[in-house]
Structure 1
Amino acid sequence: MSTVFDLEMTVQAEHIDSLGHVNNVVYMQWIQEVATAHIEALGLGLKEYLELKHAMVAIEHHVQYRKAAFEGEKIILRTWLNDLNALYSFRQYVFYRPQDQSILFTGSTKWACIEIATGRPKRMSPTFTQAYQPIAADINPLDFTHIHLKAED
């Protein structure tokens, strides 16, 4: 069974756009960073992808920007897997600012399994399906009273 995974970070000057807040493109970079950190923690990162000759690639994103983030703020990037089938995994994201207990961003990504050599769809191997399990139904991923697998930026 997979878990909720958190990556704690501080907004840096390079994340800020001409309007003085975190740029929308940065949020997209952050979903990639937290997803990558999570799969590494699950023991199925890039090294294992190359060894297994197949990988997960993003094919669809849905995002909602809810509040602005500013330089110097601490942000928790949270992700979890919420569904899985033979070809796809589905990942959710919530970015949270503890200072005022605000949800800044929510999103989801549909990931497809492909053969690295051809780029064609491939059924996930048991290695993938064992590592990429959805979180348990009784876990509330929006409960920020507990931080999971904390890592510092």
Structure 2
Amino acid sequence: MSTIFDLKIQVQPEHIDVLGHVNNVVYVQWMQDVAAAHIETLGLGLAQYLEFKHAMVAVEHHVQYRKAALESDDVILRTWLDDINALYSFRQYAFYRPKDQSVLFIANTKWACIEIATGRPKRMSPSFTQAYQPISNNLNPMDFSVSYEQISSV
């Protein structure tokens, strides 16, 4: 069973758009960054994808921007897995600013398993299905009083 995963970052000048807040595209990049960091801790990073000759690719995102993040803000990028089947895993995200206890962004992604050589759908190997298990129902991923940080800033 996987767990909740936190990645703490600080908003940099290059994340800011002409409106003075984090650009929408940056949030999507952060989704990718925190998901990649999480799978590394699960033992299924890029090296394993290449070894197994199959990988997970994003096929659908749903995002909700709640509040703007600003330059120098400290932000917790949180992710967790909440469902899995033979072809797909489903990942949730919540980005949180501790200084004002604000959830800035929530999202989810449907990830598909593909064969790298062909790009065609492929059933996940047992290594994948074991690592990509949903979190326990006893955990509340929206409780930011609990830290799941495993690595520091990007």
Provide the TM-score with structure 1 as the length reference: 0.99
Partner of 1:61: 61
Partner of 2:115: 115
> Secondary structure, in 3 states, of the residue corresponding to 2:39?
helix
Partner of 1:88: 88
Partner of 1:98: 98
8 Å contact from structure 1 (residues 8, 150) kept in 2: no
Partner of 1:11: 11
Tell me by how many angstroms 1:122 deviates. Answer: 0.3
Q: What are the ranges of 5 or more consecutive residues in structure 1 without an aligned counterpart?
A: none
**CA distance in structure 2 between the aligned counterparts of 1:11 and 1:42, rounded to whole angstroms:** 26
Q: Over residues 77-136 of structure 1, what are the superposed CA-to-partner deviations in whole Å (9 max), with x where a residue is unaligned?
A: 000000000000000000000000000000000000000000000000000000000000
Partner of 1:49: 49
**CA distance in structure 1 between the aligned counterparts of 2:42 and 2:148, rounded to whole angstroms:** 13
Q: What are the ranges of 5 or more consecutive residues in structure 2 without an aligned counterpart?
A: none
Provide the TM-score with structure 2 as the length reference: 0.98
**CA distance in structure 2 between the aligned counterparts of 1:150 and 1:103, rounded to whole angstroms:** 20
> Identity of aligned pairs, percent?
72
Tell me by how many angstroms 1:151 deviates. Answer: 2.0
Partner of 1:144: 144
| Alignment-mate amino acid for residue 11 of structure 1 | V
8 Å contact from structure 2 (residues 8, 149) kept in 1: no
Q: Over residues 47-90 of structure 1, what are the superposed CA-to-partner deviations in whole Å (9 max), with x where a residue is unaligned?
A: 00000000000000000000000000100000000000000000
Q: Would you say how many aligned residue pairs link Structure 1 and Structure 2?
A: 153
8 Å contact from structure 2 (residues 2, 132) kept in 1: yes
**CA distance in structure 2 between the aligned counterparts of 1:40 and 1:27, rounded to whole angstroms:** 20
8 Å contact from structure 2 (residues 63, 105) kept in 1: yes
**CA distance in structure 2 between the aligned counterparts of 1:62 and 1:135, rounded to whole angstroms:** 20
| Alignment-mate amino acid for residue 45 of structure 1 | G
Partner of 1:77: 77
